[in-house]
Copies of this chain bind each other. A is one copy, B any other.
Amino acid sequence: MRMTLGESVRMTLFGSSHGPEVGVVVEGIPAGLKVNASEVQAELDRRSPVGKSLATRRQEPDRLVWGDGIRDGVTLGGPLVAYVQNVDVRRGPYESLEDVPRPGHADFPARVRYGRSVDLSGGGIFSGRMTVGIVIAGALVKSWLSRAGVDAVAYVHRIGDVEAPEVGDDIPVERIRNLCSSHKIPCPHEPSALAMARLIAEIRREGDSVGGIVEARVEGLPVGAGEPFFDSLESVLAHGLFSIPAVKGVEFGAGFAAARMRGSEHNDPYGLVGETVRPLSNHAGGILGGLSTGLPLRFRVAIKPTSSIAREQQSISLSTKKPTRLVVKGRHDPCIVPRGVPVVEHLARFLIADMLRQGGFL
């Protein structure tokens, strides 16, 4: 098990899906940083179900409780603790699953590895609910990054077959954020956002689920952040992103499309942007040699369709080895992608803060 992420700035997740709470301890945040509790709560709310028709019916008010580390809205220099209580836990629907692993879930390998005692109710520590702590941690470093001119945004790029058009490199993070905020689906392109919402509603009616792609952008990075060879910016970000449940792919800049490109096409030429030397295009996604180039960092995250679906599926009893037709009851999102958006964004924020701190930039 490894609940801790980061080197100079660290988060340690605690809790579990159906335990008393989920939360986080964050270390390495300096004293004297302003933290607005209602802004952190607002970030957490972005992770909440996005509407009755689109998401899980489980009520997750997710009211932030602050432990130590802050007084009068200012950090005290010690570890910060914050969590939300799990108030609407219905343990029943899950308990029969102990012996019959749900397809697409951690149930099977977790049961084999850890035995019958491990708590997998609601997914246990494998649940997407653990990402509550990630959102809190990222929200805590937001003003710290802002002070250094660094800002981040994530948004839905694709859900199923609905793909939004490319967001130009010249559109600032703040503008993307505004464009997203007016739709139920946090996608800056309104027609796509509406089509995505329609698709999710349809999928829900079918008792099925659907995957998608989250895109993210970090702007304002200094040139040279990252710790190659092994802690390249891509390595550190991908490490974190692949810990988010349901993430199955990560690409930076042109990513997999680079496989089809020629060097003469992919290489970003250098020139002046104002008085400053910068690459003039951004196929590299803001990273060369594992170090930031000063252009916006761009990456995409592939999210698989939610594993819990209402449709009957084939499984097997681990004890009797008898095939079983399984219907996962509980309450589930037909598409986790919109709720993954703030998780990706805040995880990026947190990891960037750590990398900047390590490099002496912050």
Please report A residues at the B interface, Cβ cutoff 8 Å.
Answer: 1-5, 7-8, 10, 12-16, 19-22, 25, 27-28, 30-32, 67-69, 71, 74-79, 81, 83, 101, 103-110, 112-119, 123-126, 130, 158-161, 203, 208-213, 223-232, 234-236, 238-243, 245, 247-256, 258-272, 275, 277, 279-280, 283-285, 288-294, 300, 302-309, 311, 313-316, 318, 321, 323, 358-360
- State which of B67, B225, B258, B271 has its C-beta within 8 Å of the C-beta of A249: B258
Q: Could you say which residues of chain B place their CB within 8 Å of the CB of A232?
A: 242-243
Copies of this polypeptide in the complex: 4
**A14 to B: closest C-beta gap in Å:** 5
Closest to A8 in B: B358
- State which of B1, B289, B314 has its C-beta within 8 Å of the C-beta of A27: B1
- Most B-side CB within 10 Å, residue of A68, A124, A203: A68
Question: Bound complex: CA of A249 vs CA of B79, how far in Å?
Answer: 27
A-B contact pairs, 14 of them (CB 8 A): A12-B25, A12-B27, A12-B79, A14-B67, A19-B78, A32-B116, A74-B117, A109-B224, A211-B259, A232-B243, A235-B242, A248-B251, A248-B285, A277-B318
- State which of B3, B20, B32, B283 has its C-beta within 8 Å of the C-beta of A79: B3
Question: Bound complex: CA of A114 vs CA of B32, how far in Å?
Answer: 9
Question: Bound complex: CA of A123 vs CA of B209, how far in Å?
Answer: 46
Q: Could you say which residues of chain B place their CB within 8 Å of the CB of A110?
A: 224, 289, 291
Whether A105 pairs with B288 at a CB distance below 8 angstroms is yes
Whether A263 pairs with B210 at a CB distance below 8 angstroms is yes
The 8 A-B pairs at the shortest CB distance, nearest first, are namely A106-B289, A113-B224, A32-B117, A249-B251, A209-B263, A76-B119, A19-B68, A109-B291
Whether B302 pairs with A255 at a CB distance below 8 angstroms is yes
Question: Bound complex: CA of A79 vs CA of B253, how far in Å?
Answer: 29
Whether A249 pairs with B243 at a CB distance below 8 angstroms is no
- State which of B104, B268, B270, B284 has its C-beta within 8 Å of the C-beta of A267: B104
Question: Bound complex: CA of A222 vs CA of B361, how far in Å?
Answer: 20
Question: Bound complex: CA of A181 vs CA of B288, how far in Å?
Answer: 33
Q: Could you say which residues of chain B place their CB within 8 Å of the CB of A223?
A: 108-109, 112-113
Q: Could you say which residues of chain B place their CB within 8 Å of the CB of A28?
A: 1
Whether A321 pairs with B272 at a CB distance below 8 angstroms is yes
Whether B267 pairs with A309 at a CB distance below 8 angstroms is yes
**A17 to B: closest C-beta gap in Å:** 10
Whether A126 pairs with B290 at a CB distance below 8 angstroms is yes
**A5 to B: closest C-beta gap in Å:** 5
Question: Bound complex: CA of A306 vs CA of B291, how far in Å?
Answer: 17
Whether B16 pairs with A76 at a CB distance below 8 angstroms is yes
Q: Could you say which residues of chain B place their CB within 8 Å of the CB of A227?
A: 1-2
Whether A108 pairs with B288 at a CB distance below 8 angstroms is yes
Q: Could you say which residues of chain B place their CB within 8 Å of the CB of A358?
A: 8
Whether B76 pairs with A305 at a CB distance below 8 angstroms is no
Additional pairs, 15, CB under 8 Å, beyond known A1-B227, A3-B229 = A1-B78, A15-B78, A19-B69, A21-B67, A71-B119, A108-B223, A109-B291, A235-B238, A238-B250, A245-B289, A251-B302, A255-B302, A258-B302, A258-B304, A271-B316
